[in-house]
Amino acid sequence: MSPHPVPPRRLWWLVAGFGVWCSALVVAYALHAVGCAFGWSAASLRLVLALVIVAHLVVLGWMWRDLATDRPEPGFGPTGTFLQTVALWTLIAAVVATVPMLGLTIALTTCL
Amino acid sequence: MSALRLHRELAEIWATGPGWQRLAAVNHSVIGLRFMATSFVFFAIAGVLGMLTRVQLATPDAKFMDPETYNQVFTVHGSMMLFLFAIPMIEGLAVYLTPKILGTRDFAFPRLTAYGYWCFLFGGSIVAISLVFGVAPNSGWFMYTPLSSNVYTPGINADVWLIGITFVEISALTLAVEIVVSILKMRAPGMSLDRMPIFGWYMLVTALMMVVAFPPLILGAILLEIERAFGLPFFDPRRGGDPLLWQHLFWLFGHPDVYIIFLPMAGALSTIIPVFANRRLVGYRAIVVAIIALAFVSFGIWVHHMFTVGIPHLALAFFSTGSALVAVPTAVQIFAWLATLAHGRPRWDVPMLYVFGFFFVFVLGGLTGVMLAIVPFDWQAHDSYFVVAHMHYVVGGALAFPMLAAFYYWLPLLTGRTAVHRLSVPAFWLVFIGFNLTFFMMHLVGLLGMPRRVYTYPGDVGWNWLNLLSSVGGFIMTIGFGLVVIDMLTQFRYGRRVRRDPWRTTTLEWAMPIPPAPYAFASLPHVGAPADDIAAGRRALSLARGEGYLGFARNGWQETLGVHMTSGAPEQLIVLPRPTYLPLCTALATGAAALAMLFQFYLLSLAAALVTAGLFVLAGQRAGLVRDHGPLPVGHGVSLPPHTESAGAPPWWALIFTLLADGTIFASLVFGTFYLWIAAPNWPAAVAPTPSLTLALVTLAALAVAAAAARGSLRALVAGRSVRGWTGFAMLALIAAIAGAVVLIGGIAPPPREHALGATAAALLGYVVLHAGIGLLFLVSNLLRLGAGRVSARRSLDLRLTQLWLDYTVVTGAIALGLVLALPALVAMLGARP
């Protein structure tokens, strides 16, 4: 066992990346529905969706930088390294899921 | 102490009594086996119903069943397979195996496990018995509105589904919370998260998915039942409701459910394949990443079941892309298993036959899944037999084949024998050939245009021979399953006798007596290496001699250890409750509430629900210890406080995860409100809503006062002062909040029965009333436990739980009341749109 156990709150990092992905999906889907219901123009709806997606990607990028540059605290031992690696790769997976799922689709017909 | 003496002492403490006392069982081994056996009975019933549909469809223009009977048969077939077999089966497997694989003695809340089982049994029985009386559900397994509304299904058929299945879902939810807490807090000492067997990761992620996936359907079922029973029109488009809201709520559950079924079975495969490949699992970390990704993405693609309902292209593309993407984390696991086999020295035995069957069937099901993820193809194949074929390939591949592999792998743990090859090998080939013959033909007949859910078809459209072959395949598969059952039963008596650990495994469940004793481990192992890499057989003897932790009996307590979540360092001594009839009584009361609701005796239903709540309070009175103990020795020179004196006790985490589920229900309700606002026809209503701002603020203030008083009582307890005054004050505040919310409900405009606008406002306020009411129960329980000496400055868990609950109630109450107050503005926005 490591001399300093990894605090349980750090487990949030395992779901943080996909938490942001979830937020991007929910906000984009909701704004799309609102925009269509209230007759926003296609250009403004696309702009709003793009802003939402870019904002989420910025957050993901910031988290990525934070995780990728931080070395695991030596006191946390192999458990700390394991959790950091898993957190980093889930974050990468979340970025990979966000770009094609939300980023590339906003060029399509908006409300038809 | 000798191993035999230790065994006798522990067995006396942990064993379930004979005769009627079996009804009081709370042990995870007993309950796990009951779950699996009961779900297998439902599987058999559902299988027979499936065969009946194949008899009907074997030839054109068949008169074997009339349309109404056919509707009931196929609806119950699907509902039973999904809700009464698949989910309970994986729960049973989890309950039976998880504590053993993680090196602990039981789950965190044995009485809750037992309550979950009885709820499952009663709920499932309601659905099964309804068939006998010809009032079984008949609207399809996903109960789409408006078909399932009381306009088109006026009898009790739909109510049977809504009440029976919701009953079972409550069971699933309780178990999910229990599994999460147990995996996080009750592993073998030293089993840090990086050393946890991969099965533990799979079960953890699955249980977390269940915590979030079931609430939307529970909410949907409650709303639909309220619509059917009391006329609140959530799904009625004539009165401001929207049938598509049901589809969203259903599939928010329904799509992740496929992965909820798949992941535990994948956990079984990830345990079995390395054993037979004679090498460690390839890509442990990659698999952990993949299952976390899979869990999330599976939630984000629920709309792919709704591609034909008229959603704009752009939104369709979100979900189409996501549906294709979900294949990636699935493929990561498949390639990890293939790599394990490729780099190992595989040996063949019966479990591996089913692993092969899984690869073949699941990959085909996955490929048709990717086809259906592509919108234009889905539009063509939607509601055809192609979808039925895909669904069976996925569920069969994800569940049936790995489940049988798991049975053959773990049955020796129970029987001390392995299967007789002369029977098990032909049984496998019959199941495999029959399965593919049955369901592959459905792809073809679907592509030829045969719609699903038709009770017959004309003979001149080219579907005859495909349907006939499909039916023949169904019978071959059934014979195969029959042989499997015979094989397993004969294994108990005629199987080849084997020594402990016949497969030369690497996980802890084999480091115990065969069959497992009720206490599982005579002493708890210390895990110093990755727990997927333990020579289990060699550990068994030292553990049986009591050389691990807790290798003794004390005070007649059922003891096990609680550990630090990430490191697995021992942290607390957990004392578990002994066998009791309370779970059975509570489930009977819950069942009475459900049945009374079904037969429209609403006051009786309310009374039974109150009895259920009372029994929960009573259960609380028997929990914990009656005095402070301080640190107690647990072996290896370590002393730990009892869980009642520990900050991170399992009930604390259980409430957090319960609130996560509860919060998902609330989020679904808020989603429903906005969905109706944006999408439902016939909005705005003729009558504008005019909620009282003053009353809403008074209600919210009362909730806040109750939460503050709960904090005051905790501070008073820690300081050694009396807490009764604070508790009484909190109770008064909650009563005031309930009164305020009830008055608000009484004044809702438009009236809840007339328009969905009023109905959603009533639902939001009802949520506040319910939570304030449960807060009252917490406070009553606290008073009783204070009187009984079960609460002290060191044993303050009750008060901390109450505080957490009331804090949650304030937050959700503020959102609910805020939304009700915002409704007039939202309606005005609708009126002003172009």
What residues of A are in contact with residue B325 (Cβ under 8 Å)? 97, 100-101
Query: Which chain B residue has the Cα nearest residue A93?
Result: B293
Quick check: B537 pLDDT over 80? no
The residue behind tokens 């619509």 is: B227
The minimal CB distance from B325 to the residues A11, A83, A101 is found for: A101
The minimal CB distance from B293 to the residues A25, A93, A108 is found for: A93
DSSP-H helix ranges across B788-833? 797-832
CA B720 from centre of chain: 41
The minimal CB distance from A100 to the residues B184, B299, B325 is found for: B325
Per-residue confidence (pLDDT) for residue B369, from 0 to 100: 94
Mean pLDDT of B578-606: 95
What residues of A are in contact with residue B286 (Cβ under 8 Å)? 89
User: Is A110 close to B312, i.e. CB distance below 8 A?
Assistant: yes
Per-residue confidence (pLDDT) for residue B465, from 0 to 100: 96
Quick check: B88 pLDDT over 90? yes
Of residues B624 and A30, which shows the higher confidence score? Answer: A30
Q: DSSP code of A7?
A: P
Cβ-proximal residues to B427 (8 Å cutoff; 6+ apart), any chain: B480, B481, B483, B484, B487
In a mutational test of the A interface, the residue from B330, B567, B675 whose CB has the highest number of chain A CBs within 10 Å is B567
| Residues B687 and B755: beta-carbon distance below 8 Å | yes
Query: Which chain B residue has the Cα nearest residue A76?
Result: B567
pLDDT digits (tens, 9 = 90+) for B626-679: 889 999 999 999 999 999 999 889 999 999 999 999 999 999 999 999 999 999
State how far the Cα of B700 lies from the Cα of B608, in Å rounded to an integer.
Answer: 29
Give me the DSSP letters along B293-320.
HHHHHHHTTGGGGGTTS---HHHHHHHH
Q: How many beta-carbon pairs below 8 A join chains A and B?
A: 120
The residue behind tokens 């029977």 is: B423
Percent of chain B clearing pLDDT 70 (strictly above): 99
| Residues B652 and B797: beta-carbon distance below 8 Å | yes
State how far the Cα of B199 lies from the Cα of B402, in Å rounded to an integer.
Answer: 13
State how far the Cα of B635 lies from the Cα of B559, in Å rounded to an integer.
Answer: 12
The residue behind tokens 């930088």 is: A65
pLDDT digits (tens, 9 = 90+) for B731-790: 999 999 999 999 999 999 899 999 999 999 999 999 999 999 999 999 999 999 999 989
pLDDT digits (tens, 9 = 90+) for B323-374: 999 999 999 999 999 999 999 999 989 999 999 999 999 999 999 999 999 9
* Chain B: closest CA distance from residue A20 (Å): 11
DSSP-H helix ranges across B327-384? 327-343, 350-373, 375-381
Query: Which chain B residue has the Cα nearest residue A108?
Result: B314
Per-residue confidence (pLDDT) for residue B87, from 0 to 100: 95
Sign of CA dihedral B708, B710, B711, B716: positive
Query: Which chain B residue has the Cα nearest residue A88?
Result: B289
Give me the DSSP letters along B541-592.
HHHHTT-SBT-S--TT-EEEEEE-TTT--EEEEEEEPPP-SHHHHHHHHHHH
The CATH class that applies to domain B683-832 reads: mainly alpha
Quick check: B73 pLDDT over 90? yes
What residues of B are in contact with residue A67 (Cβ under 8 Å)? none
| Residues B757 and B708: beta-carbon distance below 8 Å | no
Nearest to B358 by CA among B474, B470, B267: B267
State how far the Cα of B171 lies from the Cα of B174, in Å rounded to an integer.
Answer: 5
* Chain B: closest CA distance from residue A18 (Å): 7
Sign of CA dihedral B630, B633, B637, B638: negative
User: Is B567 close to A110, i.e. CB distance below 8 A?
Assistant: no
Indicate the domain borders of chain B.
532-644, 683-832
Q: DSSP code of B781?
A: H
Quick check: B67 pLDDT over 70? yes
State how far the Cα of B740 lies from the Cα of B738, in Å rounded to an integer.
Answer: 5
Confidence band of B62 (pLDDT split at 50, 70, 90): very high
Interface of chain B toward chain A, CB-CB under 8 angstroms:
184, 190, 192-194, 285-286, 288-289, 292-293, 295-297, 299-300, 312-315, 317-318, 321-322, 325, 329, 564-569, 648, 674, 678-679, 829, 833-834
Helix, strand or coil for residue B401? helix
Per-residue confidence (pLDDT) for residue B596, from 0 to 100: 96
Exposure class string for B439-469: b at 16+ Cβ within 10 A, else e: bbbbbbbbeeebebeebbbeeeeebbebbbb
User: Is A34 close to B678, i.e. CB distance below 8 A?
Assistant: yes
Q: DSSP code of B638?
A: E
User: Is B313 close to A34, i.e. CB distance below 8 A?
Assistant: no
Per-residue confidence (pLDDT) for residue B327, from 0 to 100: 93
Per-residue confidence (pLDDT) for residue B1, from 0 to 100: 59
In a mutational test of the A interface, the residue from B180, B187, B192 whose CB has the highest number of chain A CBs within 10 Å is B192
The residue behind tokens 């569920």 is: B395
* Chain A: closest CA distance from residue B310 (Å): 9
pLDDT digits (tens, 9 = 90+) for B419-431: 887 889 999 999 9
Per-residue confidence (pLDDT) for residue A107, from 0 to 100: 83
Nearest to B787 by CA among B733, B732, B727, B735: B727
User: Is A112 close to B313, i.e. CB distance below 8 A?
Assistant: yes
| Residues B385 and B252: beta-carbon distance below 8 Å | no
pLDDT digits (tens, 9 = 90+) for B186-230: 999 999 999 999 999 999 999 999 999 999 999 999 999 999 999
Per-residue confidence (pLDDT) for residue B3, from 0 to 100: 84
- How confident is the prediction for chain B on average, in pLDDT? 94
Per-residue confidence (pLDDT) for residue B532, from 0 to 100: 63
User: Is A104 close to B321, i.e. CB distance below 8 A?
Assistant: yes
Mean pLDDT of B52-75: 96
Sign of CA dihedral B148, B149, B154, B155: positive
Q: DSSP code of B630?
A: -
Tokens matching residue B698: 């008074």
What residues of B are in contact with residue A86 (Cβ under 8 Å)? 285, 288-289, 292
Cis amide prior to B154 (ω within 30 degrees): no
Tokens matching residue B634: 């647990």
pLDDT digits (tens, 9 = 90+) for B461-501: 999 999 999 999 999 999 999 999 999 988 888 888 888 88
User: Is B833 close to A39, i.e. CB distance below 8 A?
Assistant: yes
Query: Which chain B residue has the Cα nearest residue A32?
Result: B315
pLDDT digits (tens, 9 = 90+) for A45-87: 999 999 999 999 999 999 999 888 877 777 888 999 999 999 9
State how far the Cα of A64 lies from the Cα of A66, in Å rounded to an integer.
Answer: 5
User: Is B564 close to A101, i.e. CB distance below 8 A?
Assistant: no
Other CB atoms within a 10 A radius of the CB of residue B624 amount to 21
- B486 exposed, middle or buried (CB, 10 Å; 0-12, 13-18, 19+)? middle
Per-residue confidence (pLDDT) for residue B667, from 0 to 100: 97
Per-residue confidence (pLDDT) for residue B622, from 0 to 100: 81
User: Is B315 close to A29, i.e. CB distance below 8 A?
Assistant: yes
The residue behind tokens 């438009």 is: B750
User: Is B190 close to A109, i.e. CB distance below 8 A?
Assistant: no
* Chain A: closest CA distance from residue B302 (Å): 12
CA B585 from centre of chain: 22
| Residues B346 and B303: beta-carbon distance below 8 Å | no
Give me the DSSP letters along B452-484.
TT-S---TTSS-HHHHHHHHHHHHHHHHHHHHH
State how far the Cα of B45 lies from the Cα of B132, in Å rounded to an integer.
Answer: 12
What residues of A are in contact with residue B315 (Cβ under 8 Å)? 29, 32-33
Exposure class string for A22-41: b at 16+ Cβ within 10 A, else e: bebbebbbebbbbbbeeebe
